[in-house]
Structure 1
Amino acid sequence: MFTIRALPVRRDGGNSLLAAYRDGLTRHWPPARRLASHALALAGRGGWSAAERLYLGDAVRAQGLSMADRKGLHRLLNPGAFPLSINILKNKQLFANWAQGLPLPDACDPDAMDLDAWLAGQSDIIAKPSYRSKGQGVERFVRQGDGWRNKDQYVSPVHLAVSLRALWRQGGVIQQRLPTHAALADLSPGALPTLRVVTCLNESGAPEACAMALRLSAGGPRPVDNFNAGNLVLAVDDAGRCGAAWRSGGARPPSRHSRHPATGAPIEGALLPDHDAALALAIRAHDRCRAGFTVIGWDIGITAQGPVLVEGNWNPGTDIIQLVEGRGIGAGRLGALYRHALARVPADQWRAAAVAQRDRK
């Protein structure tokens, strides 16, 4: 994987967030690097994708940040992200150790624990590969009789233990699947609902919750709630009240739902349980790693036991936040803090920002 920084030759100047990012690069880059970046832009490597143009309107994109551009920006603001091998927000095993003391799913470390004994006490588990995002590779195993079931496939205890140990050796994690809060059970069948909370260091250097989006499972066999997997995403206001949900339409525009498409349960107007506690957990987590990370996207599971920290993302997606808020990131509080942080990036860090950087582990 690569970080790509593509600067268009012509800029309209109306997007203050992109202007702060691109002007910083232009000021500190030599002419040859600027030309290489322009060439990438002409080749279509930056800017808005066809999918983003499908579900983000012109007004949103006018003050927005595309998924293609966000990574280069986040790499400047989050120097603690690289190398990925020591990035606590990418290496899932490091994250599990770093987050001890915060509410987390019960997990097994086969190097320090008896995996077979741990499995004997479980009935529903999740296995996650490391260095993955958007729910890729996540598997759910549910106890059935003397064995386990993964989707429609029966897995023997021996085979499961072998595959889990292999996953662990490759940096993955093995966790108990947590039960969904009763208030959301009919709104997220099939997967734990998660609140994405984007925190950013403010003018005082303290983490502040600036944006959020609730993700719900639409149902189906995959144990994830990611929007790009056909699930639901929606805005939650400051009082914890839910708006209508958006559902990914693939090659079609996303559809709008005031009720859950599978269960019929009302979404719009529902109150998110433990809303304030979930925001406080995200801020508490960011406070632990503010030295290396200016902006983080936290996934907080809304469980029967209360909010649980699922993971943190050093390069949080911009698409669902802009979709549910109906405005570009540059137009809100998060955009203001991005600009504040970019204005304080040291000159040597701007100069070290390459046109293309390989994301080495």
Structure 2
Amino acid sequence: MVAAGEQLIKYLRTASEHKTYLVQPRFINHREITNLADDTLATIRVMSCRNESDHYEMTDAAFRMARSSKTVVDNYHASGIAANVDIQTGELGRGIRGAWVTVADGWYDRHPETNVPILHRRLPCWPELIRFVQDAHGCLFSDQVVIGWEVAILDTGPFA
């Protein structure tokens, strides 16, 4: 079904009389990384921990992107691509294809569909993302030693 604003609201009002729906905003990737993910929201899998000084730090990060525009998730196990992120700089390493990897079709310096560089690409808003994760860990989950996060980078900044 294709519908514009008021049409969609009218349809959902009628349909929700018989079934429950969850309606939420659609998030769009930051303009500097849209060509890595097409219409799929790309996320960064981030690990943070409380360190020996009782502060919070990021320890690992991997940028996850869809391999094909036909895919609607960035899930690594749905044949998505993951690239290591240098914690200090936000620079991407080589991408690797997820599940069912073959040697001939496993590692990517460039995105296989869009042909844009993956290797050495710097993620936008990286310092803000680090502060975001550290602050969220310390303020919201200070009793947890280690947390795994899924963070998207939108034009407005990091979002989890």
C-alpha change, 1:256 and 1:289, in structure 2 (3 Å) is: same
More helix by share: 1
Q: Choose the corresponding residue for 1:191, options 36, 40, 43.
A: 40
Confirm or deny: 8 A CA contact 1:197 1:279 kept in the other structure: no
With structure 1 as the length reference, what TM-score do the two structures score?
0.39
**Counterpart code for 1:231:** G
Confirm or deny: 8 A CA contact 1:236 1:243 kept in the other structure: yes
Q: Which residue of 1 aligns with 2:147?
A: 296
Confirm or deny: 8 A CA contact 1:189 1:218 kept in the other structure: no
C-alpha change, 1:159 and 1:233, in structure 2 (3 Å) is: farther
Equivalent pairs, count = 153
C-alpha change, 1:262 and 1:241, in structure 2 (3 Å) is: same
Q: Which has more radius of gyration?
A: 1
C-alpha change, 1:175 and 1:158, in structure 2 (3 Å) is: closer
Q: Which residue of 1 aligns with 2:57?
A: 208
Q: Choose the corresponding residue for 1:286, options 137, 145, 148.
A: 137
Instruction: Give the CA deviation at 1:264.
Output: 0.7
Q: Choose the corresponding residue for 1:166, options 2, 16, 20.
A: 20
Instruction: Give the CA deviation at 1:252.
Output: 4.0
Q: Percent identity?
A: 27
Which segments of 5 or more consecutive residues in structure 1 lack a partner in the other structure?
Answer: 1-142, 149-155, 169-173, 310-361
Instruction: Give the CA deviation at 1:160.
Output: 8.8
Q: Choose the corresponding residue for 2:66, options 217, 226, 229.
A: 217
CA distance in 1: counterparts of 2:77 and 2:91, whole angstroms: 23
**Counterpart code for 1:289:** F
CA distance in 1: counterparts of 2:135 and 2:27, whole angstroms: 21
With structure 2 as the length reference, what TM-score do the two structures score?
0.83
Alignment of 1:247 onto 2:101: no
> Could you give the per-residue CA deviations for residues 249-294 of structure 1, whole angstroms, max 9, x where no partner exists?
4264570011111111111111110111111111111112121x21
Alignment of 1:178 onto 2:24: no
CA distance in 2: counterparts of 1:248 and 1:160, whole angstroms: 41
